[in-house]
Amino acid sequence: MNPSNLSTPLLTRLGISVPVIQAPMAGTSTPALAAAVSNAGGLGSLGMGATTVEGARAMIRETRALTSKPFNVNLFVHVPATADAEREARWLAYLAPEFARFGAEPPAALREIYKSSVDDDAMLAMLVEERPAVVSFHFGLPKPHIVKGLHDAGIVLLASATSLDEAMQIERAGIDAIVAQGIEAGGHRGVFDPRQPDEGLGTLALVRVLVRHTHLPVIAAGGIMDGAGIAAVLALGAQAAQLGTAFVASPESAADAAYRAVIANPAVRTTLITSISGRPARGVDNRLAELGRAPERPPFPDYPIAYDAGKALHAAAKAQGNYDYAPHWAGQAVRLSRAMPAAELVATLMREVAQAGS
Amino acid sequence: MNPSNLSTPLLTRLGISVPVIQAPMAGTSTPALAAAVSNAGGLGSLGMGATTVEGARAMIRETRALTSKPFNVNLFVHVPATADAEREARWLAYLAPEFARFGAEPPAALREIYKSSVDDDAMLAMLVEERPAVVSFHFGLPKPHIVKGLHDAGIVLLASATSLDEAMQIERAGIDAIVAQGIEAGGHRGVFDPRQPDEGLGTLALVRVLVRHTHLPVIAAGGIMDGAGIAAVLALGAQAAQLGTAFVASPESAADAAYRAVIANPAVRTTLITSISGRPARGVDNRLAELGRAPERPPFPDYPIAYDAGKALHAAAKAQGNYDYAPHWAGQAVRLSRAMPAAELVATLMREVAQAGS
């Protein structure tokens, strides 16, 4: 594949020169990572799903200090959680023996630890002031006035879809491009309504169906770890590839040593999806995932209320040096991970794209 | 992608000129379909999973009368079923109200309707006599003397893998190439042991991991419906693409009018995996699939004992013009189906490959 042919209308719109988007990965992405990817010609992303408005502003400013290039700010726009004291109490009772293993008590109650940006006027106002080049949405779509406000500020908008139905909603909402997130992808699935059956479309099928049956540019995500993967999704008609797991091992990410060790371990082959956070997410199998997939578990509290419990349990375990409860999100092709600085990874990817299929 | 670059060592080995393998699809493939694909330069396949030795011989001879080109004979090599009268009786009791809807009785008992070829010396002897160019295995690997006997007869051997672990078993068994069957694929998943957890690897992730971590040529299967899909898997390093659903709508297939109507219906978007046959298989959602995914269903009998019940139920319904119990196997990208003669489809695919990514 000739790299001089890689420019697409979407890349022009995004103001980037290589078809690589670093996935937002709330909690793992950093301003340093996003800036490194953007400086290398791709689109770096900041995951704001676990951040306040002022925290998000600080991250944007920190990134801007490191790059003059466009970058992407990702928001979680899930339906806000419905608290359910009985469901949450059952969940905590279920986890109590795990806390006890570390001499800890479960929290007395669970909180909605992250605010949804679905209708967040303070987040909108901050973004209109700061004007990142790109804003992306995960878990659904925001209210129409948020779309309009960001568009009026000249910001390009992306949204994740896991199905044709979600993609068509994205199209109707006036979003500029679709992130087609296949079942291979690590981290949280962008499904709009996790109570509905999930067809679990693979990246190859999803990308091709969306390219053929929507009118928007498609960005492929899920299972892409190298230039061959990027060349493959470009052949499917995607205009760019979004890579998450591939960047976790970069020194610029916020991944801790335990997460890096799991990602680098060739014996780790199995990832799976659980709703341990309250929403389906793919990660490496460990004791946390086992609690999420146990047939006898009680119903999950809503996202992100369930995540509050998981994070408390991980903290209790980590305090005793146990990392078996960490949310080690990773995609199905984690075995192809390579630890290298983000700029070097982007350059390597582009060399590989040029060689793919030749 | 330049079509003159499409020749690969695997194509040379298989004696074919275009990187398209028609998936075997027991019950849907026909000698006419296999011969049309082979005559068009690809590799046609016959699915023998539901056929006796003499039936298989007849199909091979019929195909040979229609083409002098290489074709593939696919065998099911599952662990033979273990009968369990109590489990089977519970299953029939569960289905009884469905039979009653059509004024029918469930069968008094269920049978192992297809013999596994895992250790079938009569099938081996017939294949050594008939010498098809290629034999492929699904659901596992045959006994070593079957591999040796076929190899000694000069037959090229393929086997399906849904995971790296299965692929490594295939490599150790001395098979010549791996069919990497991603989660997108329609029909029966080739998983060796359906009692083990299934990681459900998407085609993109699976193909790339197998290309990188095995030494055998890889054939990609699952979600590939057009030239863009073929170009994509070639970019991943696959040496050929296997397409099943794409050929169901060909006039040469054995699909009945109801199956063709479902495949062609743009409103049909959802496929899902159930074990209604006793093994996981992807098809279009209907009443049969609903029975397989109902939370209150009893445990499935072993494959293919459970399938005997499903087929009897379909027959009872079909006798009254109801096709809602048919095993309408289809892959995730069924929406991209096009009804055209097999030779025309192969020619179309190759034109599209030449255009992909340009």
Which residue from A1, A197, A212 is facing B336, i.e. has the nearest CB?
A: A212
Q: What is the pLDDT of residues B26-38, one digit of tens each?
A: 999 999 999 999 9
Statement: the pTM of the whole predicted model exceeds 0.95: yes
CA distance B313 to chain A (A): 26
The answer to whether the Cβ–Cβ distance between B202 and A199 falls below 8 Å is no
Q: What is the pLDDT of residues B172-209, one digit of tens each?
A: 999 999 999 999 999 999 999 999 999 999 999 999 99
- How confident is the model over A326-348, as a mean pLDDT? 97
The answer to whether the Cβ–Cβ distance between B333 and A205 falls below 8 Å is yes
The answer to whether the Cβ–Cβ distance between B203 and A199 falls below 8 Å is no
CA distance B115 to chain A (A): 32
Q: What share of chain A is helix, strand, coil (3-state, %, to 5)?
A: 40, 15, 45
Whether the predicted pLDDT of A6 surpasses 90: no
The answer to whether the Cβ–Cβ distance between B205 and A211 falls below 8 Å is no
Residues of B in contact with A335 (CB under 8 A): 164, 209, 212-213
Q: What is the pLDDT of residues B79-95, one digit of tens each?
A: 999 999 999 999 999 99
Whether the predicted pLDDT of B245 surpasses 70: yes
Whether the predicted pLDDT of B4 surpasses 80: no
Residues of B in contact with A234 (CB under 8 A): 235, 357
**Angle B22-B27-B29 (CA atoms, 0-180°, nearest 5)?**
25
The answer to whether the Cβ–Cβ distance between B201 and A222 falls below 8 Å is no
Residues of B in contact with A237 (CB under 8 A): 228
> Which of A1, A199, A204 to mutate to test binding with chain B, by most B CBs within 10 Å of its CB?
A204
Q: What is the pLDDT of residues A46-73, one digit of tens each?
A: 999 999 999 999 999 999 999 999 999 9
Q: How far apart are CA B213 and CA B283, in angstroms?
A: 30
The answer to whether the Cβ–Cβ distance between A231 and B270 falls below 8 Å is no
CA distance A338 to chain B (A): 13
Q: Are A72 and A139 in contact (CB under 8 A)?
A: no
Share of chain B above pLDDT 90, in %: 95
Whether the predicted pLDDT of A330 surpasses 70: yes
Q: For all residues of chain B together, what is the average pLDDT? A: 96
Helix H or strand E encompassing A189? none
What's the confidence (pLDDT) of residue A268? 80
What's the confidence (pLDDT) of residue A1? 60
Model confidence band, residue B104 (pLDDT cutoffs 50, 70, 90): very high
Q: What domains are there in chain A, each with its CATH number?
A: 3-80+115-253+339-355 (3.20.20.70)
What's the confidence (pLDDT) of residue B265? 93
> Which of B2, B204, B206 to mutate to test binding with chain A, by most A CBs within 10 Å of its CB?
B204
Q: What is the pLDDT of residues A103-149, one digit of tens each?
A: 999 999 999 999 999 999 999 999 999 999 999 999 999 999 999 99
What's the confidence (pLDDT) of residue B3? 54
What's the confidence (pLDDT) of residue B8? 86
What's the confidence (pLDDT) of residue B1? 60
Q: For all residues of chain A together, what is the average pLDDT? A: 96
Whether the predicted pLDDT of B357 surpasses 70: no
What's the confidence (pLDDT) of residue A274? 96
Model confidence band, residue A98 (pLDDT cutoffs 50, 70, 90): very high
In sequence order, what DSSP letters do the residues of A275-302 get, joined into one string? -TTSS-EEEE-SHHHHHHH-TTPPPPPP
Residues 6+ apart with CB under 8 A from B98: B287, B291, B313, B325
Residues 6+ apart with CB under 8 A from B290: none
Which residue from A183, A199, A229 is facing B208, i.e. has the nearest CB?
A: A229
What's the confidence (pLDDT) of residue A5? 64
Least confident range from B2-16, B215-229, B310-324: namely B2-16
Model confidence band, residue B268 (pLDDT cutoffs 50, 70, 90): confident
Whether the predicted pLDDT of B314 surpasses 80: yes
Which residue from B182, B208, B224 is facing A228, i.e. has the nearest CB?
A: B208
Q: What is the dihedral of CA A266, A294, B284, B290, to 10 degrees?
A: 170
* Minimal-distance CA residue of chain A relative to B181: A202
* Minimal-distance CA residue of chain A relative to B235: A357
* Minimal-distance CA residue of chain B relative to A228: B236
Q: Are B293 and B323 in contact (CB under 8 A)?
A: no
Q: What is the pLDDT of residues A26-42, one digit of tens each?
A: 999 999 999 999 999 99
Task: Please give the interface size between A and B, counted as residue pairs whose CB atoms are below 8 Å apart.
Answer: 155
The answer to whether the Cβ–Cβ distance between B202 and A223 falls below 8 Å is yes
Whether the predicted pLDDT of A82 surpasses 60: yes
The answer to whether the Cβ–Cβ distance between B235 and A237 falls below 8 Å is no
What's the confidence (pLDDT) of residue A2? 58
- How confident is the model over A263-271, as a mean pLDDT? 87
Model confidence band, residue B321 (pLDDT cutoffs 50, 70, 90): very high
Order across the sheet with A20-22: list the strands. A20-22, A240-243, A218-221, A177-181, A156-161, A134-138, A71-76, A44-47
Whether the predicted pLDDT of B113 surpasses 60: yes
What's the confidence (pLDDT) of residue B356? 85
Whether the predicted pLDDT of A265 surpasses 60: yes
CA distance A216 to chain B (A): 17
Task: Report residue B2: phi and psi, to 5°.
Answer: -80, 115
Model confidence band, residue B243 (pLDDT cutoffs 50, 70, 90): very high
